[in-house]
């Protein structure tokens, strides 16, 4: 059964995109009357494959098995593996179903949720799936287990569930120190009457996974007092090429050393950093005018081997001094006021400034550049479009970036002060969660449409070389994007019970009219 009514199950209608200058060669897969999602728009992007039966896709990762390239897809359906050795023809290998992930007391017919950024250990061939409070329809006020599933992918065609580690959160789990430990983030369950879900309590839970069949979650927490001295929501962890672990959440993004000997800016002493007792490095919140909610969703610091993917270093912004991060927020249908992409300078943040900040004496990073889909070509006008920056991935100075119903955008960030759009992919009925660069392609995890494999055309790279953005469209375009004979229907999205619209769920089929996950 389809997750979202009216969303095409395979590829786009060629006639819809023919005038947009893309390389899409597609065919109709549903009658005209059934196509009730957003009208499509794209430029400088070519659709290479649409993977069937992947609606509900949330996150993707990859592992190499000698000559076989394998994609791991996490979604509301559980975990699926695909052979992507032929990158344009993904082939299903195995499916660890949601029924197999269900714990006692779960309704196995409802959805696995959420594992927003699937993590893998490429050395031991392990996959880690974070389980949220609202998984399998668990309701507030009842027992709602959270934690991490450990899955062996020694043979990606025969996935094996090894164990489940309960812990106080389960939104996203990430490897640190070569996957000898996990840092797991999200709302920690502390009761709150604050209507602002971003201000709920969160911290990093640390789990020793040197023995994946017997994981041990420790009693020590990381990244407390992260929002100007107050403990609020943690969300995502990204480890950069220099080994610094960046924790995003309410109050911005802060980096930690987790190994080696470093000077602790809070004590002034040189000490050993560990995953249990890391040493603060740098980071903080973006200024309120640039990131009004102060909720940083995820991040990337170009450094070392990834320096070539980020903005070009300069005297003003030397190598390793820039932080790219996302505001997930839904205050604007076109992300004019909230939900934007921000490039910040880390200069002036290495002395523990964010860790010493208080509500009375806050600390903010200096903003270098900001971008959003607002008033850009390919953007649908409001007021009912669902727009927020979400996950992004970077390759050779081009950011592939998800903006929910505003689709996947491709930005040239060579000049960090002036990011520009060089391509976009906003197919009909999209709810773009996360794009991933992989072997010359971008794999888009779309909650509504499933997984689509796209490729930038030469036009995108020509625009990057000349630093010329695709044509800006201004003025009212309602008549174009929403013709009277084909009115747009709002996609059935509902707020997560704990995170609100920061983690929107599709309204499901479990109970008519009610969200299920």
What whole-number percentage of the chain has pLDDT above 90? 77
Q: Does domain 56-385 have CATH number 2.60.40?
A: no
Assess contact for 61 and 96: CB atoms under 8 A. Answer: no
Assess contact for 334 and 382: CB atoms under 8 A. Answer: yes
pLDDT of residue 506: 60
pLDDT of residue 501: 67
User: Residue 131: pLDDT above 60?
Assistant: yes
Mean pLDDT value of segment 88-115: 97
Mean pLDDT value of segment 162-172: 95
Mean pLDDT value of segment 305-333: 97
Lay out the sheet containing 216-222: strands in order across.
Answer: 172-176, 181-185, 204-208, 216-222
Assess contact for 388 and 404: CB atoms under 8 A. Answer: yes
Mean pLDDT value of segment 297-314: 98
Mean pLDDT value of segment 96-124: 96
User: pLDDT tier at 185 (50, 70, 90 boundaries)?
Assistant: very high
pLDDT of residue 14: 29
pLDDT of residue 132: 96
pLDDT of residue 305: 97
Mean pLDDT value of segment 210-234: 96
Residue that is written with structure tokens 């959420």 in the block: 114
The closest alpha carbon to 256, from 202, 335, 176, 356, belongs to 176
| Token output for 415 | 């000049």
Q: Which residue has the higher pLDDT, 437 or 15?
A: 437
Residues contacting residue 90 through CB under 8 Å, at least 6 positions apart:
49, 51, 71, 82, 83, 84, 451, 453
Mean pLDDT value of segment 154-165: 97
pTM value is 0.88
User: Residue 36: pLDDT above 50?
Assistant: no
Residues 139-153 have pLDDT tens digits of: 887 789 999 999 999
Over the chain, what is the mean pLDDT?
87
pLDDT of residue 21: 35
User: Residue 285: pLDDT above 80?
Assistant: yes
Assess contact for 205 and 219: CB atoms under 8 A. Answer: no
331: cis peptide before it, omega within 30°? no
Secondary structure string (H, E, C) spanning 306-342: HHHHCCCCCCCCCCCCEEEEEECCCCCCCCCCCCCEE
- d(CA 300, CA 249) in angstroms, rounded, equals 13
| 3 state DSSP class of 495 | strand
User: Residue 155: pLDDT above 60?
Assistant: yes
Q: Are strands 441-446 and 45-51 parallel, antiparallel or unpaired?
A: unpaired
Domain extents for the chain?
Answer: 56-385
Residues contacting residue 309 through CB under 8 Å, at least 6 positions apart:
302, 394, 395, 396, 397
Residues 441-480 have pLDDT tens digits of: 999 999 999 999 999 999 999 999 999 998 755 333 333 3
Mean pLDDT value of segment 429-433: 93
């Amino acid at each position: 059964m389809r997750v979202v009514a009216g969303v095409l199950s395979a590829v786009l209608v060629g006639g819809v995109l023919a005038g947009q200058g893309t390389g899409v060669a597609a065919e109709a897969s549903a009658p005209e009357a059934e196509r009730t999602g957003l009208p499509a728009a794209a430029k400088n992007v070519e659709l290479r494959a649409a993977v069937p039966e992947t609606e509900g896709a949330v996150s993707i990762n990859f592992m190499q098995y000698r000559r076989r390239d394998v994609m791991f897809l996490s979604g509301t359906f559980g975990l699926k593996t695909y052979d992507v050795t032929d990158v344009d023809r993904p082939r299903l290998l195995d499916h660890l179903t949601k029924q197999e992930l269900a714990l006692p007391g779960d309704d196995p017919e409802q959805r696995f949720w959420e594992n927003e950024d699937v993590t893998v250990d490429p050395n031991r061939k392990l996959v880690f799936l974070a389980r949220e409070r609202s998984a399998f329809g668990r309701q507030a006020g009842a027992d709602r287990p959270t934690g991490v599933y450990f899955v062996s992918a020694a043979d990606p065609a025969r996935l094996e569930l090894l164990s489940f580690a309960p812990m106080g959160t389960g939104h996203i789990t990430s490897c640190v120190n070569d996957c000898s430990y996990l840092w797991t983030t999200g709302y920690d369950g502390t009761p709150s009457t604050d209507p602002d879900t971003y201000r709920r309590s969160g911290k990093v839970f640390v789990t020793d996974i040197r023995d994946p069949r017997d994981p041990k979650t420790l009693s020590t927490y990381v990244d407390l007092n992260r929002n100007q001295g107050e403990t609020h929501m943690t969300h995502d962890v990204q480890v950069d090429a220099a080994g610094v672990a960046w924790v995003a959440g309410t109050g911005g993004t802060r980096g930690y050393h987790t190994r080696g000997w470093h000077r602790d800016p809070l004590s002034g002493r040189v000490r050993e950093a560990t995953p249990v007792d890391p040493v603060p490095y740098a980071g903080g919140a973006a200024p309120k005018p640039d990131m009004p909610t102060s909720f940083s969703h995820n991040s990337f610091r170009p450094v070392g081997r990834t320096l070539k993917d980020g903005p070009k270093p300069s005297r003003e912004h030397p190598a390793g001094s820039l932080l790219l991060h996302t505001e997930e927020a839904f205050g604007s249908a076109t992300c004019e006021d909230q939900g934007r992409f921000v490039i910040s300078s880390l200069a002036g943040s290495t002395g523990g400034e964010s860790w010493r900040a208080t509500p009375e004496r806050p600390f903010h990073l200096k903003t270098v550049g900001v971008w959003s889909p607002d008033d850009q070509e390919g953007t649908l006008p409001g007021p009912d479009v669902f727009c927020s920056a979400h996950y992004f991935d970077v390759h050779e100075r081009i950011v592939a970036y998800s903006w929910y119903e505003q689709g996947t955008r491709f930005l040239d960030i060579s000049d960090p002060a002036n990011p520009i759009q060089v391509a976009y992919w906003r197919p009909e009925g999209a709810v773009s969660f996360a794009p991933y660069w992989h072997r010359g392609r971008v794999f888009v995890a779309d909650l509504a449409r499933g997984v689509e494999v796209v490729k930038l055309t030469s036009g995108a790279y020509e625009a990057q070389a000349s630093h010329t953005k695709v044509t800006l469209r201004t003025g009212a375009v309602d008549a174009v994007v929403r013709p009277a004979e084909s009115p747009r229907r709002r996609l059935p999205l509902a707020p997560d019970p704990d995170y609100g619209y920061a983690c929107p769920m599709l309204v499901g089929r479990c109970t008519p009219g009610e969200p299920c996950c």
